[in-house]
Amino acid sequence: MKIPFSPPYINKVVLQEVNSTLESGWITTGPKVKQLEELVCKYTFSPNTLCVNSATSGLMLALKWYGIGEGDEVIIPAYTYAATALAVIHVGATPVMVDVENDFNISIEKIEKAITNKTKAIIPVDIAGWPCDYDAIKTLVCNKIELFNPSNENQNKLGRILILADSAHSIGATYKNQFLGSIADITVFSFHAVKNITTAEGGAVCINLPKPFINQEEYYYLRCFSLNGQTKDAFTKSKAGGWRYDIIYLGLKINMPDILAAIGVAQIPEYFDETLDIRKEIYKVYHDYFATKTWAITPPYKNEYRESSCHLYALRIKNITESIRDLIIEKITKQGVAVNVHFQPLPMLTIFKEMGFKIENYPIAYDNYKCEISLPIYPQLTKDQLNYIIRTVENAVESTI
């Protein structure tokens, strides 16, 4: 049996939506993107949402909006995908990495120790779809207001460190009965091909800023900035007499096209009505089975305050080394089951090692990584496939440890 790790979920509804967009004669940014933005707002209760070409671009856009650049520091977890750090570096700021907790997410205690008068933002990452402790982060930044050193209008208006959620994995996750997207100041979702909702490539920037900000106005600014600082998008310019435009910001070209937005437009309603629940059912099958194994550490799924989007099932094996984990993966793969590892901590990657980061300074991140195996989880999985994955993982682990 051959089981891929994370194939995109493409059904007839998606094909119809994409064909409709192709037949419309308009495939770049236009009405489908606006429809997708409205759907994200509808289902996450975000006040405003801007769709862009990737979550990485969304993070960069948010950082630039807050005026973060050279001399500024942004606190991020050491356990995340490289894009979290690269977004900070690309705007000229300095990533300050801190360790994580056993649930994979950023340590509040480590954040507190890392805050300085140069700190302008914190980027918590909801690893595998498990929400970070946002109330604790909000309390922390409010308690550190005396250290905050604003340098522009937006920073003066907010008056504190920006909470910019890297929620690439977590559309549909909830924190205290609220969907992510309506909790942090700004939340960025990913619609990459392997995510719970996809547009092949793409991302969404959810704007949830407190007063005195007017979120609609900030949406218009970000939309303009994402189109090279141009006052009109191509769809508006194409209308009769609409050719004249201006360039008012030193913007980026990171807009999402309609042809990609069409996939997301088709997927979002079904996701919140059906496929998210299917992911949760699969997650629970894994969880219930591996909880009976003395060698297994099951990932967090649901408690009184948080519920995962079930993007990844991050199984950990107790008391093993990185090399033993790799051997287990090799055995699983030989049986036709594709698995993965999420993630290699940033200080293990060449670019960050060359910047002086050392994995020895992030022991929990390494402990989580060295024994982690991500199992397939997506709505197309059949019961037979799910049972085969479980048996294959069980046999591989128990024949190795």
The residues annotated as belonging to the active site are 195
Beta strands in 130-202 (DSSP E): 162-166, 174-175, 178-179, 186-190
DSSP letters along 268-325, please?
HHHIIIIIHHHHHHHHHHHHHHHTT-TTEEPPP-B-SSEE-----EEEEETT--HHHH
Starting at the earlier edge strand, list the strands of the sheet with 313-317: 296-297, 313-317, 372-375
Side chain identity, residue 283 = Y
Cα 137 versus chain centre, distance: 17
Please work out, in degrees rounded to the nearest 5, the angle formed at the alpha carbon of residue 120 by the alpha carbons of 215 and 162.
30
Determine the Cα–Cα distance for residues 256 and 391; give it in Å rounded to an integer.
Answer: 41
Determine the Cα–Cα distance for residues 100 and 114; give it in Å rounded to an integer.
Answer: 13
Q: How far is CA 372 from CA 129, 350, 369, in A?
A: 16, 21, 5
